[in-house]
Amino acid sequence: MLRDAEPQPVRLADYRPPDWLVDTVELDIRLDPTATRITARLAMRPNPGGREGSPIVLDGDELTLKSIALDGERLAPEAYAATPSSLTILAPLPRPLVLEIETEVNPSANTKLMGLYRSSGTYCTQCEAEGFRRITYFPDRPDVLAVYTVRIEAAREEAPVLLANGNPVETGSVAGTDRHYAIWHDPWPKPCYLFAMVGGRLERITEPFVTASGRAVELGIYVEPGKLDRASYAMDALKRSMRWDEEAFGCEYDLDVFNIVAVADFNMGAMENKGLNVFNDKYVLASPETATDGDYANIEGIIAHEYFHNWTGNRITCRDWFQLCLKEGLTVFRDQEFSADERSRAVKRIADVRLLKSHQFPEDAGPLAHPVRPDTYREINNFYTATVYEKGAEVVRMLKTLLGPEEFRSGMDLYFERHDGEAATIEDFLACFADASGTDLAHFARWYAQAGTPTVSVSGEWNAAAQTYRLDISQHTAPTPGQPDKVPMVIPLRVGLVGPDGRDMAIGAPDGGNGPEGVLVLTEARQSFTFHGVSERPVPSLNRGFSAPVTLKSGLSSDELLFLARHDADPFNRFDAAQTLALAHLVQATEAVRGGRTPAPPAALIGALGSVLSDPALDPAFIAQALAVPSESDIAREIGSDVDPDAVLKARTGLRKALGRALAPELAGAYERFATPGPYSPDAASAGRRALKNTCLDLLAISREADGIARTAALYRAADNMTDRFTALSILAHSAPEERDAALADFLARFRDDPLVVDKWLALQAQIGEAGTLDRVRALTTHPAFSMGNPNRVRALIGTFAAANQTQFHRADGAGHGFVVDAVLALDGRNPQVAARLLAAFKSWRALEPVRRASAEAALKRVAATSGLSPDVADIATRSLG
Ligand code: B3K
Ligand code: ZN
């Protein structure tokens, strides 16, 4: 028997165009805390491309229908069939026609935070992916594009600010009442998932912006009262994003206003609704005292991301939700490029690849693996994943590498020209690049369809007599759920040959080469490439800039990797060579720890990192990345199976201590040298200096060298910015248990009234890799600062525990798994999306050693066996076990 909540899977292969189109939508929304009335007037006509004579069936979700009229005539009850989840018109259908539908919703009771809800009293909406159907009955699919006019009415006292998509048309009072209204019109046809409205007591900052072609735009950022002084960085990032998109992609803004609203209760980071972006306030609000350098960088990136959706997502949207990567992968690529241009390109690339490897690679290697464009889903909200976003961006990046910057730009130009105003597919997107460049991309398109991370194995041979250097390269992709057999992929490997003097050799096109200069394009399971005129034995530098999202087995010796770590002209590979060495050491060290042995410190690696640390030519932000030891999840991924997280942590801590001990004088010197004098500035150069000095401090503290703990305590007390203060607090919490509780108490006392800062305090405690952490986290769930109702609080405390505390989440006694499952089940009735996200932390459970694996399996089975699960959580549980 089917569980009642279990929806049937949706399949890409079953796509059919809509039978009815909606040309215009007129919404009249009368806001009320518990009984908001929505009247929707939909001007509809049959789709010439749809099925002739088909009925009108509209989507709903937990809706109450109040009345319905067809062409002005109220429909009798027998003329339609309404349930909370659908509305079917049974009356004969004229064509075209106007449907007028009245629904009532309770925004205060909407804990799912989808549709119309309230956040700290502010009315706001979230419609992607399928939230509009929680406001009114509608063909809730992205290929139905309509022009919207929205009238919002509310008590003036409760909601003096009334916003919707598009341009403001009119405001006024409702005669004889304490209510007022605002009318907004959005001239650009859009799918309903881009609809938004906001009503509340908000304050705003505004700035003018003039587009390249001279359109005057008023930019506004709305925040809760008292927080205006924290909105200026977001505004600055917005203006820089708008200018950059004009320069880099020729994309200009297209309305008279652009508004951003920051709300405290939000299921994800932000939402790109046309002309009215709604943000999680975590990604808007920043001041030196409350936000870290990392927060500033995230704000910049997410403001840019949502803004860039105006063209990639809004002007050209997705035909169906399988095409999600069409807007998300492309827009992530665009925001990565923006941040690379605004900051240090090499450091940005390193950070992006770190994220890809720590989030997407494990997803691709586990039971939740899926293609960048999935071909089936049960719950679309579970597919806003690292694969769709981050791997999706890598696929676009590879396209650029293969075609070169000019052809890539021509392809983008053609895409904007050909599909503006349309709901498009990945095939449409690729056809633009194929047509603009005359390149056949059929094979490349497999990146969208085949899941799993390819492993690329390389061996090189120098022939002194012939002066040739041959690279033999093979690729292999392991099976993933539903895809037992894999085909070879198109893999662009950017390569250089580094000569004994540490410089790149001049290399011509190799035999077997078929890509742009310096790029080897793999297309087969095995291939060889032979370079000529190679007079000395080179060290190959492969996959430079991480040109393809693959696991590289370079076949290089430790000496060769050390050589690249010192000399590679490609900064990414210089970093990567050191990381590869560290990872190799950490895998061995983990083995040693499990066998009861003490691993020997890797002297050569430590020496190489020492010379990176003292190289005055290097960017401090780069040095900080190079000194950052691979994470526990990186090590676990490299080990692959039978993982013991306790041994991993011990090995990693051992390496950090060894680095601190061996390099103490250099680290102490750098800590002092890179102090950032003067008032705080979030710019990339200052942030890089802080990152380096604080990385040095961390290594000194963990190894208890050069007064590391005392220096940290002093930094904590003297800090004039959150980056320094929170870094110091984290170091004390992790490396100085004797100082921990006093420091945590002090921090809370300072920031108790600031929920976003309290989140840092919660997350930090959830991360400590000690046996007492679970009790601490459990106790914090009843702390007054915590609330299961706010997604940011839940993610900070429970999400961090599950995703960033490998040893305690995967405790051998199963208590960590049990705690997270209890939280998932407690949350599911209230907010299924956040609950499902939390459960996805089990994604690498099969790689654990047998005791922990059995515990994880039992925990997942307990979820799966629970009745009344949301489709969101049921889907993650089922696939995780599958
Ligand atoms: N498009 C939104 C994400 C919506 C998530 C719905 N579950 C934000 C973004 O990627 O820009
Ligand atoms: Zn996005």
Mean local confidence (pLDDT), 17-36: 98
Q: Is the pLDDT of residue 6 over 60?
A: no
Atom of ligand 1 nearest to the CA of 267: 7
Mutate which of 128, 133, 308, 834 for ligand 1? The one with the most ligand atoms within 8 Å of its CB, which is 128
**Atom from ligand 1 closest to the CA of residue 313:** 1
Nearest to 796 by CA among 774, 767, 820: 767
Ligand 1: which of 272, 277, 314 to mutate, judged by most atoms within 8 Å of the beta carbon? 272
Given the CA of residue 328, which atom of ligand 1 is nearest to it?
10
Distance (Å, rounded) from C-alpha 796 to C-alpha 784?
15
Average pLDDT of span 436-461: 98
DSSP assignment string, 437-488: HT---TTTTHHHH--SPPEEEEEEEEETTTTEEEEEEEEE---BTTB-S---
| CATH superfamily of domain region 317-449 | Neutral Protease Domain 2 (1.10.390.10)
CA of 305, closest atom in ligand 1: 11
Amino acid identity, residue 852? R
- The stretch 692-714 carries a mean pLDDT of 98
What does residue 54 show for φ and ψ, rounded to 5 degrees?
A: -85, 155
Choosing from 126, 241, 267, 384 the residue with most ligand 1 atoms within 8 A of its CB, the one to mutate for a pocket test is 384
Q: Look at residue 8 in the predicted model and tell me its pLDDT.
A: 87
What is the distance in A from the centroid of ligand 2 to the CA of 268? 10
Name the catalytic one among 153, 224, 306, 390: 306
Ligand nearest to the CA of 266: 1
Q: Is pLDDT at 775 greater than 50 in this prediction?
A: yes
pLDDT at residue 677, as a whole number: 84
Check if 247 is active-site. no
Q: Given a cut of 80, is residue 3 above it in pLDDT?
A: no
pLDDT in tens, 173-209: 999 999 999 999 999 999 999 999 999 999 999 999 9
Dihedral Cα 158, 160, 161, 164, nearest 10 deg: 70
Residue 831 alpha carbon to ligand 1 centre in Å:
16
- Is residue 758's pLDDT more than 70? yes
Q: What is the pLDDT of residues 112-166, one digit of tens each?
A: 999 999 999 999 999 999 999 999 999 999 999 999 999 999 999 999 999 999 9
Strand 161-164 to strand 526-532: parallel, antiparallel, or no bridges (unpaired)? Answer: unpaired
Distance between Cα 113 and ligand 2 center (Å)? 18
What average pLDDT score do residues 771-789 get?
Answer: 98
Look at the pTM and tell me if it is higher than 0.95.
yes
**pLDDT tens-digit readout, 304-329:** 999 999 999 999 999 999 999 999 99
- Stretch 713-730: mean pLDDT, rounded? 98
Residue 1 has pLDDT above 50, yes or no: no
Question: Above 80 in pLDDT, residue 234?
Answer: yes
Q: Using CA atoms, how far apart are residues 172 and 180, in angstroms rounded to an integer?
A: 6
The Å distance, Cα 129 to ligand 2 centre, comes to 12
Mean pLDDT of 86-103: 96
Average pLDDT, the chain: 97
Q: Which of 195, 260, 267, 271 to mutate to test the pocket of ligand 1 (most atoms within 8 A of CB)?
A: 271
Ligand 1, atom 7, lies closest to the CA of 381
CA atoms within 13 A on the CB side of 412: 23
CA of 255 to the centre of ligand 1 (A): 22
- 1-201 and 455-555 in the same fold: yes
From the options 2.40.10.10, 2.60.40.1840, 3.30.559.10, 3.40.1000.10, give the CATH code of 455-555.
2.60.40.1840
Q: How confident is the model at residue 676, as a pLDDT?
A: 80
**Average of per-residue pLDDT across 508-531:** 96
Contact 445, 434 (CB under 8 A): no
Q: To 5 degrees, how large is the angle CA 513–CA 517–CA 519?
A: 60
Q: Kindly give the distance from the C-alpha atom of residue 389 to the centroid of ligand 2, in angstroms, as a whole number.
A: 8
Q: What is the pLDDT of residues 607-616, one digit of tens each?
A: 999 999 999 9
**436-439 LR contacts (CB < 8 Å, sep 24+):** 436/407, 436/410, 436/411, 437/403, 437/407, 437/410, 437/411, 439/402, 439/403, 439/407
Domain ranges in the chain?
Answer: 1-201, 317-449, 455-555, 752-882
Q: What percent of the chain has pLDDT over 90?
A: 98
- The protein residue whose alpha carbon is closest to atom 3 in ligand 1 is 271
Across the range 846-859, mean pLDDT stands at 98
Residues at CB less than 6 angstroms from ligand 1? 128-129, 268, 270-272, 305-306, 309, 328, 381, 384
Rounded alpha-carbon distances, angstroms, from residue 686 to 303, 343, 750:
21, 11, 25
The stretch 513-519 carries a mean pLDDT of 93
Considering only CA atoms, which residue is closest to atom 5 of ligand 1? 128
Annotation: CATH topology of 1-201: Immunoglobulin-like (2.60.40)
Q: Is the pLDDT of residue 423 over 90?
A: yes
φ, ψ for residue 214 (rounded to 5)? 100, 10
* Number of the ligand closest to the Cα of 330: 2
| One-letter amino acid of 434 | A
CATH code given to domain 752-882: 1.25.50.10
The residue whose C-alpha atom lies closest to atom 1 belonging to ligand 1 is 271
Ligand 1, atom 2, lies closest to the CA of 271
